[in-house]
Structure 1
Amino acid sequence: MQFKRIQVLMIILFIAVDLFLFNWWRSGRQSDTQVTNASSNVIQEMRRQKIDLPQFSNKREYANYIAAKPDYQFDETYQLLPTYSSKIRQNTLEVQFSQRHNIQLPTQKVAKKIANAQGYQHNALLTQLADDQSYYSQTMAGLPVLSVGGQLIFSYNRKQELTRFTQTKVTHIKRLRDERVTITEKDALIDLYQFNELNSGDVVGRGLLGYDTQLTVNGYDIYLPVWIFVVTHSNGKQQLVKINAFTGENLTS
């Protein structure tokens, strides 16, 4: 009888402690409303600093860590081109066009054909940073590759004729672990401001979520999702800034 009473008392004590710990945890936890208010305050502060912000999204996406290897095979590209001068250097296909033998230089339509046939998508943000070039990015898990690997870069002359291009590819793409939620475009902008990457008079373009690589393990490049933005500073210079879309870490070089 005494033993049963002790059991009942222990159960009651356990429940009481559990409830206490839960309430203590909840009281110290910021509510969604508090987080939203704090974010809004930072955005207002940025605008008071005359930082021109884009029409940002507050939508959360899901992404993975991804492993992939550089691809050395460019047979698909060769089949799309006439016999132009080409070579492979450090995992990169380099193709040079010329007007020899009265052959006209290709136009942007040819560039789009080469890119679309291999699943590369036009990357307006990276193109914005380049003079007389257009970027097309390979995609992984629905997002563009933002690093050097997985890019088609076309160069043009003043007549917008194609003079050369380079291509890199990734293959053996593997998703690592389950999908995780990413920070929003708004969160990334706030992180950039708190890391002092945004200053008074800066103009920030729309962000782009994609995959960038940070390290190599056993021959595989490891990619993680990042938010990138083009910032035009008050002196007119443009800068590419990056935020880790999982942790909010500043990856700007």
Structure 2
Amino acid sequence: MDWKKTETIFIIAFLILDIFLLVLFIDSRMSSSPTPLVSQTLEEKLKSENITYGKIPSNPEVGSYLSTEPLAFTQTDINDLKGQSIMVQNDNQRIYSILKKPVKIDPDKYGADLMPFLKSDVFEGDRYTYWSFDRERREMTFNQKIDGRPVLFNTNGQIIFTLNQANEVISYRQTMLGDTQMFDEKDDVISGTDALEVLHQHGDLKQNSKIVNTTLGYYNLVSLPSSDVYLPVWAFEVIHDKQTTFFLVNGLEGSVINTSGVDTNEVPNMREDAAQKAKAKRLK
């Protein structure tokens, strides 16, 4: 018997066995190890749910809680409004104007061709910005700006222009908020993308929705006897199943404001109660 050859065969056999056992050991360890979870980004989550959106602001913002109340118009405020028949209503808190010469505009220009009239023939008109056009009611709405941002869903800071069928402005109703008082120093406001993630986590966005507009503005959350309290909010205009709804996210606290969705048809009368509670100023 050739012992040397036999010894070599045994060594090779044991080496093959060791390699085989090592492979089995590694395979069993890998199969028993938990599979790492893959974290989806917000973009991937929205895409998987077929939720589409345009440009969402991601720049840092600042804002603060503030208080204000409806302004009472004085005779001096309306003296320079020419070419109009002016009435002051609601304890002098609303101007109702009928134009002697209608102003022709294109509703599809988002109020751009109405800006010259606003600046020259409406009291403090340059403090308002375009918000929406309701084709059924023939009404174009401009919202007052505070700290460069629009006041949202509040009848106390709006100009609503009425158009005839020829797309001519024939009258308008104007309300205005007075001086504002900041509650504290300005603080960081969450970005639009962070607000969108908050809204998505809250479960308000339905599959197959489309976010058509994102706006940072001020919203009247609390009405007090002497004034109203406003805070910066992100407003998301969402279309789902041909219905438009607005969802609001608190820009300072990063929480969804419980409005059960602000329907566009409800916007004009949402804060009517706040106007009744606010302290009225009288004509001197």
User: What is the TM-score of this pair, normalised by structure 1?
Assistant: 0.73
SS in 1 for 2:69: strand
Distance 1:91 1:151 in 2: 15
In structure 1, give the amino acid aligned to 2:140. S
Mean Cα displacement is larger for which, 162-171 or 63-72?
162-171
Is residue 2:215 matched to residue 1:236? Answer: no
Kept after mapping to 1: 8 A contact 2:84/2:97: no
Write out aligned runs for 1:91-170 (5 A).
92-97=93-98, 103-108=100-105, 109=114, 110-111=117-118, 113-115=120-122, 117-123=124-130, 126-127=131-132, 131=136, 132-146=138-152, 147-170=154-177
- CA–CA distance in 2 between the matches of 1:229 and 1:237? 13
Q: Does the 8 Å CA contact 1:111/1:162 hold for their aligned counterparts?
A: no
Q: How has the CA–CA distance of structure 1 residues 128 and 245 changed in structure 2, closer, same or farther, with 3 Å as cutoff?
A: farther
**Retained in 2: the 8 A contact 1:138–1:145?**
yes
Q: CA deviation at 1:85?
A: 5.1
Maintained 8 Å contact 2:235/2:246:
yes
Identity of aligned residues (%): 21
Q: How many residues align?
A: 209
d(CA) in 1 for partners of 2:52 and 2:217? 23
Inter-CA distance 114–240: structure 2 relative to 1 (3 Å threshold): farther
Q: Structure 1's 229 and 59: CA in aligned 2 closer, same or farther, altered over 3 A?
A: same
Aligned to 2:182: 175
Q: Is 2:214 the counterpart of 1:214?
A: no
Q: Which moved more, 1:68-77 or 1:51-60?
A: 68-77
Q: Structure 1 regions of 5+ residues with no counterpart?
A: 1-36
Give the unaligned 5+ runs of structure 2. 1-37, 106-113, 261-284
Q: CA offsets per residue over residues 183-228 of structure 1, 9 Å max, x none? A: 1111111122222221111110231111111112341111100111
Q: Given that residues 58 and 192 in structure 2 are in contact (C-alpha distance below 8 angstroms), is that contact kept between their aligned partners in structure 1?
A: yes
Report what 1:43 is aligned to: 43
Q: Which amino acid aligns with 1:184?
A: S
Judging changes above 3 Å, is the alpha-carbon distance between structure 1 residues 229 and 88 closer, same or farther for their aligned structure 2 residues? same
SS at the partner of 1:222?
strand
Shift of 1:122: 2.2
What is the CA distance between 1:81 and its match in structure 2? Answer: 3.5
Q: 1:26-105 maps to which residues of 2 (within 5 A)?
A: 41-73=41-73, 75-84=76-85, 86-89=87-90, 92-97=93-98, 103-105=100-102
Q: Which segment drifts farther, 49-58 or 72-81?
A: 72-81
* Alignment counterpart, residue 205 of structure 2, candidates 198, 204, 208: 198
Distance 1:44 1:236 in 2: 24
Q: 1:80 to 1:116 in 2, by over 3 A?
A: closer
Distance in 1 of aligned mates of 2:128 and 2:63: 19
- Structure 1 residues 89 and 117, CA, compared in 2 at 3 Å: closer, same or farther? closer
Look at both structures and tell me which one has the larger radius of gyration over its CA atoms.
2
SS in 1 for 2:190: coil
| Distance of aligned partners of 1:191 and 1:107 in 2 relative to their CA distance in 1, 3 Å threshold | same
